[in-house]
Amino acid sequence: MTTGATVWLTGLPSAGKTTIAYELAARLREEGHLVEVLDGDEIREFISAGLGFSREDRHTNVQRIGFLAELLARNGVKALVPVIAPYADSRDAVRKRHEESATAYLEVHVATPVDVCSERDVKGLYAKQAAGELTGLTGVDDPYEIPERPDLRIESQNQTVKESAASLYALLSERGLV
């Protein structure tokens, strides 16, 4: 059986989390690894429908995703999780779940500055927030607690997607997970 692991990519909206996750997933699949990307937007649509964006709802969403990721990872899948997860206590609870089952867990902070994320604005969220059509945007008018000790910090504005995914692959290799 292959070694499973959860790789949680946290960061602001439009930081590059999902793009990096899919780039890494492609490489891992080419090598024969079992891989699933648990995209935060898809999870909200199918697993966490009905949850809002209050602190409590965000925590519930992160715990649901953490449960799914740990279940997959425990069964030999590389679970790549590009999810904002703005609160440290929520991320810590997911890490603890993994530790309790002796399942590998890596926290990756995609540390893209808010001004760069705003320029990218993949989903138009920053434009809506600036126009007063949206409130509670993580990192702008809602908190984002920066990870204090991530396993890896990626500054996506300073490197290509391939380079970002390669640095994450190198970490997986260093930890004996690929």
Report the binding-site residues for ATP.
11-18
**Residues at the annotated binding site?**
11-18
User: Measured between alpha carbons, how far is 50 from 178 in angstroms, rounded to an integer?
Assistant: 37
